[in-house]
C-alpha cells in the first residue's frame, strides 16, 4: 500500500496536465520507487570506501603503547678518576644505584638510579655523578667540592667493589668507606676514609681477598659490609 499512494497521485496529475500516458505513468513509478528505496538502503561506493579509511586513520593516530624503561638488575663498576688519582666505585641493584669517590683526603657518597643505561647520582651539596653504561664499563664524570673530573670504570666482581662500615663510638657516629680494586698483575689497590663525627681519623686497610673481615679503627672493632648490605639503607 505504501507504493500505491504515489502512483495514484502521479497518475491524477498526469491526467489533468496531459490527458494521456496514464498507463505508462502508473507502470514506471513502482520501479522508480523500488530503485530509489534500494539505492537509499545500499551505501554508495564512496561511503563504502570511506569507512575503512576512517578506521585506518584512527588506528594510525592512536597513541603507541609506552614500554617501561629497562633497568639493570645487578652491576658493579670501579676505576680511576682522571686528573685526580682517586678511585670511584658504583653499584646498581634493580635500578637503584650508589656510588663512592675517594682520593684518600676528600670523599663523597652518592645515591640515585639507573635507567636505560643512563646513571644519575647525587651527593651532599653539589656532588654529582653522571655516566653512561655500556660495553662492560661506566663512563662519565664526578663533581665534588666545586671540581669535576672524568672517569672510565670497568665492570668488576667481588672482592673488588664498594665497602662500608658504621658504629657508634663515645656517642659519635663512626663511618668508614673503602673502594677495593683487584690489580691485573695480582694484589689489590684500595682507598678509603673514616670519620668519627666530623673528624677524619686513620683508616685501616681491608684484607684484599677477605674485605669483610673485621678491622679496628682507633680502639673500635668494625665489620665492613659489601654493597648488598647497605644499598637499600642509602636510598
Mean pLDDT for 135-141 is 98
Q: Are 234 and 98 in contact (CB under 8 A)?
A: yes
Residues ≥6 apart with Cβ < 8 Å to 182: 156, 159, 160, 188, 208
Mean pLDDT for 94-104 is 96
> What average pLDDT is seen over the chain?
80
**Which stretches does DSSP call E strand in 46-198?**
74-80, 87-93, 96-102, 107-115, 118-122, 128-134, 137-144, 147-154, 161-169, 172-182, 188-196
Of all residues in the chain, the percent with pLDDT exceeding 90 is 66
Whether pLDDT at 38 is above 90 = no
More confident residue, 93 or 40: 93
Q: Are 140 and 147 in contact (CB under 8 A)?
A: no
Amino acid at each position: 500500500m505504501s507504493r500505491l499512494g504515489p502512483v495514484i497521485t502521479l497518475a491524477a496529475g498526469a491526467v489533468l496536465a496531459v490527458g494521456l500516458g496514464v498507463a505508462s505513468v502508473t507502470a514506471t513509478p513502482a520501479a522508480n520507487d523500488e530503485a530509489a528505496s534500494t539505492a537509499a538502503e545500499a551505501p554508495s561506493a564512496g561511503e563504502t570506501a570511506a569507512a575503512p579509511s576512517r578506521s585506518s586513520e584512527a588506528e594510525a593516530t592512536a597513541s603507541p603503547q609506552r614500554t617501561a624503561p629497562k633497568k639493570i638488575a645487578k652491576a658493579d663498576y670501579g676505576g680511576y678518576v682522571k686528573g685526580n688519582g682517586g678511585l670511584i666505585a658504583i653499584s646498581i641493584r634493580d635500578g637503584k644505584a650508589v656510588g663512592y669517590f675517594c682520593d684518600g683526603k676528600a670523599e663523597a657518597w652518592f645515591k640515585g638510579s639507573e635507567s636505560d643505561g643512563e646513571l644519575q647520582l647525587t651527593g651532599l651539596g653539589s656532588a654529582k655523578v653522571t655516566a653512561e653504561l655500556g660495553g662492560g664499563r661506566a663512563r662519565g664524570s664526578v663533581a665534588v667540592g666545586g671540581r669535576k673530573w672524568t672517569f672510565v670504570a670497568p665492570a668488576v666482581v667481588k672482592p673488588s667493589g664498594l665497602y662500608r662500615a658504621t658504629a657508634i663510638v663515645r656517642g659519635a657516629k663512626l663511618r668508614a668507606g673503602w673502594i677495593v680494586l683487584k690489580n691485573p698483575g695480582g694484589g689489590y689497590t684500595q682507598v678509603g676514609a673514616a670519620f668519627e663525627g666530623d673528624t677524619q681519623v686513620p683508616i685501616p686497610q681491608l684484607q684484599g681477598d677477605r674485605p669483610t673481615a673485621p678491622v679496628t679503627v682507633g680502639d673500635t672493632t668494625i665489620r665492613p659490609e659489601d654493597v648488598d648490605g647497605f644499598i637499600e639503607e642509602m636510598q
